[in-house]
Structure formats: structure tokens, C-alpha cells
Amino acid sequence: MIMIISERFLCDSGRPSNRCTGQPHRAALILARGGSKGIPLKNIKSLAGVPLIAWVLRAALDSEVVDSVWVSTDHDEIERVARVWGAKVHRRSPEVSKDSSSSLETIQEFIRLRPEVDIVCHIQATSPCLHPHHIREALQMITEQGCDYVFSVVRRHQFHWEEVDKKEGKNPTPLNIDVAHRPRRQDWRGELYENGSFYFSTRKALENGLKQLGKIAYYEMLPEYSVDIDVDIDWPVAEQRVLRFGYFGREENAAVRLFLCKVSGCLTNGQIITSVSGEDHVAINARDVAGIHMLQRENIEVQSCGLVQIICYNCYTVKKNTSYVVNRAFRGYMCKIHSLGSRGVSLLIRSVWVAVIT
């Protein structure tokens, strides 16, 4: 018996796609154009130590319900970051990379070039608090409940008023409130708004330009997960939110046995104090010392790396033996102190980074 499989139905690995097995191919797609106007290269800007786009890539990859994860971009650096974080890259054409190009046009180009894709999970890179369970539950509404289009929403308690031209002197009209009977928050369920986190749709719906939709549904996300970044002032708020509600990956049951830290610039407060006699002093943050005690109480060995280095401060070149300062600052805390040259510390930190895990 000879089996012929068309290239149309082969996935990137050369194996038959889900279409051969009767299962729809579900592709997560993140659009990340390089020409962001509000925040330049916003999609790869660091948010809480991680590129913005990486937060949603990690959630998509760990959801385990999508068959492929793609980033559509026209920018080399975005492509590099996307591949580092495990995504495939669709290099979009100049026709859909313009300021006037719509998301729909870009997604339609993607499915034209990827005929194996049956369901597109369009995820916004600017929603860093997305979790894998959001993707799983929303996708089930298409694969199990027969929806053609599913989008994310959030419940808000906001009163709307009609916008009027002040020159006309017309009174604004309330759109969702009786001013004489203004409800308390706990007595009002609020209203649903798109939060822009994701839009899932079938291939057929996209090919029809989302004009002939059958069954539509929304997926409600809790307010703490509904974060959107458009302008600079959104960034610090999003950073605090993601540190508390973001998805940091699968938990691994690993035990930390050794904590290795570079002293200069890490355990110091960034100040150099020179006495009248010419002695150099640095200040050690008491919170760092308390943290070291906490680690030691958990039987974690703490080792500090000192560095003899040249520091330029206020136009004066000062030679500072950090090892001497560190030994004095940390005496009594039972930390092992290592004095290394600049290359030694660089190689050590690069290879070990923060901790040795066994």
C-alpha cells in the first residue's frame, strides 16, 4: 500500500498535520509590527525583566492546546526575540506592514500562506497577564461548543454619558444610568467591555472577513488579568500588575542549594563615600543582609563574589578593593567571600547566573 501525503498537509516537522488525523490545526498568532508609534519597539521592551511579547508566548506554549505558536513581524530584532522564546516566525509582507494595515489583513495573509491552519488564536502582545488556562478555556468554546468567534472581555463598573458639543449648550444624556437612582457598586453587575487580550476564530470566518459569523461568544477575564499597554504611562502600572498576576511558567520542583551573588552593584546601594583621610566606604543594604539570613535558615549556602575594580566617580578615579570592604561588611554573617578578577567574575556570573540548582 502506498500513502501519498500532499505537502499541503505536512507540518513544519514533516509529520502529517492534524488535518490528516481529523483534528483541526490550532495556531496561536501574535502580531508584532516593528513600527510601533506610541512606544518604539514596544513588543520587545523589557517588562519586569522579560520582553513584553515573551509573557504571552510563554502562556501560549504552556497551554498545550495549540499546535503551533507564531509571531508575525516585519522586524529583525522582534524575529530574533520570538525565536529565542520558542515561537515560529511569519515574516509579513510590506503590504500588511503599513501604519494603515489592519490586524484582519495581516491574519488573512498568514492563513493564505499556512493552509494547514484551521483555527487562529490571535493573542495581543500587550496583554502580559494572560495565563494558559485562559487560552484553554476560550479555545474549548470553539472546538467543543461550536463557536466561530470568541473574544475576551472584562467587567467594569463605569457610567456612560453622551458626548456633546459644548458650543451648542446641549445637556449630556446618561446612557446607562438613572441619575436619580445611582446604584451602589455591589448592587450593579456592571457591563462587559473588550479587554483586547485575544480574539479566536475559525479559518472560514477569517476568510469571509468576519462578516458572516455564526455562533459568537465572549470569554470573561477577571479585572486583575486585564492589562493593556498603549502609551508610556501604562508601563509602570502594567509592570506592577504582571509581577503580581502574571504567568511565570510551569513550577519546577527544584531545590536551590547555592546562592551566588556579585557584591558590587548588587548588595551595595550604589554609593561610594570617601572620607577625609581618603578611605573608601560603601553601604550595604540591611534588607539584603536580612535576605541572606533567611536563605541560610533554609540551609542554602550563600557565597559573595568581590571584585577589585576601578571606578570613576565625580571625575576622580578611585581604586577600590571591594573584597576588603565586603569582608568587613559581611563579617559575622558566615558568607564565603571570593575575590576574583573582572574576567573571573564575568565568567562566573555568566555561567552560574543566580543560583546553582540540583
Contact between 69 and 60 (Cβ < 8 Å): yes
Torsion sign, CA atoms 338, 342, 347, 350: positive
pLDDT of 230 > 90? The answer is no
Query: What distance in Å separates the CA atoms of residue 37 and residue 343, rounded to the nearest whole number?
Result: 40
Q: How many domains does the chain have?
A: 2
- Three cell numbers at 300? 542554602
Q: What is the DSSP string of 301-333?
A: EEEEEEEEEEEEETTEEEEEEHHHHHHHHTTTT
> What pLDDT is recorded for position 262?
62
Taken as a whole, the chain contains a residue count of: 358
**Better-predicted residue by pLDDT, 185 or 206:** 206
40 lies in the same domain as 128: yes
Q: What percent of the chain has pLDDT over 70?
A: 73
Q: How far lies 232's CA from each of 35, 126, 127, 225, 228, in Å?
A: 16, 12, 15, 19, 11
Q: Which range marks the domain in which residue 165 is found?
A: 26-245
Statement to judge: residues 157 and 46 lie in one domain: yes
What's residue 352's pLDDT? 41
Report whether pLDDT(313) > 60. no
Residue 215 to residue 141: CA distance in whole angstroms: 10
**Per-residue model confidence (pLDDT) at position 277:** 80
- Within the chain, residue ranges assigned H as helices are 52-63, 76-84, 103-113, 132-143, 203-207, 234-245, 286-297, 322-329, 342-352
Look at residue 84 and give its three-state secondary structure: helix
The residue from 245, 276, 298 where one domain ends is 245
Residues 113 and 210 placed together within one structural domain of the fold = yes
pLDDT at residue 318 is higher than 90: no
Residue 287 inside a domain? The answer is: yes
Same domain, 197 and 269: no
Three-state secondary structure call for residue 66 = coil
Is the per-residue pLDDT at 7 higher than 50? no
Q: What region does 210 belong to: left with phi over 0, alpha with psi -120 to 50, or beta?
A: left
Contact 79, 41 (CB under 8 A): no
**Same domain for 155 and 122?**
yes
- Whether this prediction's pTM lies above 0.75 is answered by no
The predicted pLDDT at position 28 comes to 98
Flag whether pLDDT at 316 surpasses 50.
Answer: no
Find the mean pLDDT for residues 67-93: 96
* Residue where the block lists cell 487562529: 120
Torsion over CA: 189, 192, 193, 194 (sign): positive
The C-alpha atoms of residue 268 and residue 325 are separated, in whole angstroms, by 11
What is the Cα–Cα distance from 133 to 351, expressed in whole angstroms?
Answer: 34
In a domain, 111, yes or no: yes
Residues 72-88 have a mean pLDDT of: 96
User: Does any domain span residue 220?
Assistant: yes
pLDDT digits (tens, 9 = 90+) for 127-137: 999 999 999 99
Query: Mean pLDDT over residues 195-199, rounded?
Result: 96
Portion of the chain with pLDDT greater than 90, in percent: 51
Is residue 157 included in any domain, yes or no? yes
Whether the CB-CB separation of 264 and 309 falls below 8 Å is answered with: yes
Residue among 15, 80, 182, 189 flagged as catalytic? 182
Q: Which pLDDT belongs to residue 114?
A: 96
- Looking at residue 240, which CATH number applies to its domain? 3.90.550.10
In a domain, 324, yes or no: no
Question: Is residue 71 located within the same domain as residue 208?
Answer: yes
Residue 344 pLDDT greater than 70, yes or no: no
Q: Is residue 122 within 8 Å of residue 190, measured between CB atoms?
A: no
Question: Residues 94, 172: one domain?
Answer: yes
Residues 306 and 192 in one domain: no
Where does the pLDDT of residue 263 fall: very low under 50, low under 70, confident under 90, or very high at 90 and above?
low
Residue ending a domain, choose from 216, 245, 274: 245
Do 302 and 190 belong together in one domain? Answer: no
Domain membership flag for residue 138: yes
**265/222 same-domain check:** no
Mean pLDDT for the chain?
80
Work out the burial of residue 280: count CB atoms within 10 Å of its CB; fewer than 13 is exposed, 13-18 middle, 19 or more buried: middle
180 lies in the same domain as 129: yes
DSSP string across 30-41: EE--S--SSSTT
| Residue 96 pLDDT exceeds 80 | yes
Q: Domain ends where: 215, 245, 275?
A: 245
Active site residue 92: no
* pLDDT for 349 beyond 90: no
Domain assignment present for residue 268? The answer is: yes
- In-domain check, residue 129: yes
Query: What is the Cα–Cα distance from 101 to 109, expressed in whole angstroms?
Result: 11
Domain identity same for 94 and 159:
yes
